[in-house]
Amino acid sequence: RFLVRLARRGLSCTVEPGQSVVQALQARGIALPVACEQGVCGTCLTRVLAGRPAHRDAYLSEAERQAGDCFLPCVSRSLDPVLVLDA
């Protein structure tokens, strides 16, 4: 489990092992834009301000993956205890 902090909204949300970041936020009434929810379309692309994302998508290029400044919250997770998003 890890924490996502939404910098623009000024709130935090715990993501449990069995749920995606999108699902955890939905449970709190926050709807990120999504379409495929399988990490392939790029609709949910979100900027990462701090923390290292654990990429699980099939959308980002290797360079984008390594830059670590954006991720796909419908499938990807966090390597760090806290991931701060521009959302």
CA distance 74 to 32: 9
Interaction residues for ligand FES, span 45-64 (CB under 6 A): 57, 59
Tokens of 82: 């806290």
Q: Which of 6, 60, 70, 74 binds ligand FES (CB under 6 A)?
A: 74
Of the pair 42, 68, the CB lying nearest ligand FES is at 42
Residue 40 sits in the site that holds ligand FES (CB under 6 A): yes
CB of 33 to ligand FES, least distance (A): 8
What's the rounded Cα separation, in Å, for the pair 46 and 33? Answer: 10
Beta-carbon contacts of 61 under 8 Å, excluding residues fewer than 6 positions away, are none
Residues that bind ligand FES (CB under 6 A): 34-37, 39-44, 57, 59, 72, 74
